Amino acid sequence: MGDDAGRKVNLLGLTLTELESFFLELGEARFRAQQVMKWVHQRGVDDFAAMTDIAKPLRQRLAAVAEVRLPHVVYEHTASDGTRKWVLELADGARVETVLIPDGERRTLCVSSQVGCALDCKFCSTGKQGFQRDLSTAEIIGQLAIASRSDPMGAARAVSNVVMMGMGEPLLNYDQLLPALQIMLDDWAYGLSKRRVTVSTSGIVPMIDRLGEDIDVALAVSLHASNDELRDQLVPVNRKYPMAELAAACRRYLARHQSNELGRRRITMEYVMLAGVNDQPEHARQLLRYLAAVPSKVNLIPFNPFPHAPYERSSRSAILAFQKILVDAGMICTIRTTRGDDIDAACGQLVGQVEDRTRRSQRWAQQILQEREIFRRSS
């Protein structure tokens, strides 16, 4: 259960079932797992000596064989709109980001699942950093633990919603993602509602099916295009799992969890608005046709520019016109409010400024310059 041979077991990443097995192996009662989960996740205690309802000999034994190890905070800042961002350093020196977005009583934490990302979506800052490795369950939960401990004692719940929309493709780190989701939902840990935990995917069709079999959480799809030709360019994984297959997987996911909530469940379709690329009225009409058979709601996302990005944010008027076409046709369609612009709150932006081990962003910037020069000459 440890991260590496010979190291202490990091209890932060163990589900209730795994923690029960851990205590049984120590010759202790199963209920100790519930006690420790509550101390660690609800009370934010990582010192076994402070767990006062556990016998002192067991506390001493736990200190010898286990630990509660969170990522190290190397950067923390709060934007003018209240958005909070952390850059976290992991045990091997890799860095990830997590962002807490307040909106009234709703406090949404955007959690990373990988260091970098291999999918290379063309409008995404994280993808330009390349892929380094998957996060462990403890490293995923560590982001939630840090954010949950960020408010003073006695404050309302620090995190009310979790979205797996940070750095990386969650479904490509499935074996570490699933136990993390289980810990988020566990009443002895964070006790989040299954409607308040969202997994966002670029469209890994087989893993959408597996997620539906294993757990019931909200699903979001990074769609960003209204036809296969355009999506092949913006979201390259579409070449392996085209839009028709993706729509079928979404319908299967809803059917699996729809029995008690017929007509209420929807897939959230994320759609970043890129000026002159995917924001025209015809794109909106294509999107309506595509989603006709998929119970869904659309979240329009104004593009958040980053260095060397070949795209620009759609104008406000273009976004509103796009939304009107969808709404007039009966589609639920919202526009995401841009948050944290003054602290580079879009996932991967800040880490991308200080670390790029693969130098993909440098190569990509050179490619963009070459393409622009070709375009200039042809004009």
Q: Which residues are catalytic?
A: 97, 347
Q: Find all residues with CB under 8 Å of 195, minimum gap 6, and list them.
A: 218
Residues 67, 10 contacting (CB under 8 angstroms):
yes
Pairing of strands 84-89, 72-78: antiparallel
Q: Find all residues with CB under 8 Å of 217, minimum gap 6, and list them.
A: 181, 185, 194, 197, 198, 199, 211
One-letter identity of residue 297: K
**Can you tell me the distance from the alpha carbon of 240 to that of 287, in angstroms, rounded to the nearest whole number?**
20
- DSSP letters along 226-249, please? SSHHHHHHHSGGGGTS-HHHHHHH
**Can you tell me the distance from the alpha carbon of 201 to that of 120, in angstroms, rounded to the nearest whole number?**
13
Alpha helices (runs of H) in 298-359, residue ranges in sequence order: 316-328, 349-354
- Look at residue 353 and give its three-state secondary structure: helix
- CA 28 to chain CA centroid, Å, is 36
Backbone CA torsion sign across 226, 296, 84, 82: positive
Pairing of strands 106-110, 114-116: unpaired
**Can you tell me the distance from the alpha carbon of 355 to that of 362, in angstroms, rounded to the nearest whole number?**
11
Tokens 């948050």 sit on residue: 339
**Two tokens at 208?**
């959408």
**Two tokens at 186?**
């566990």
**Two tokens at 24?**
């049984």
Residues 275, 302 contacting (CB under 8 angstroms):
no
**Two tokens at 16?**
């209730």
Residues 90, 139 contacting (CB under 8 angstroms):
yes
Nearest to 126 by CA among 92, 101, 97: 97
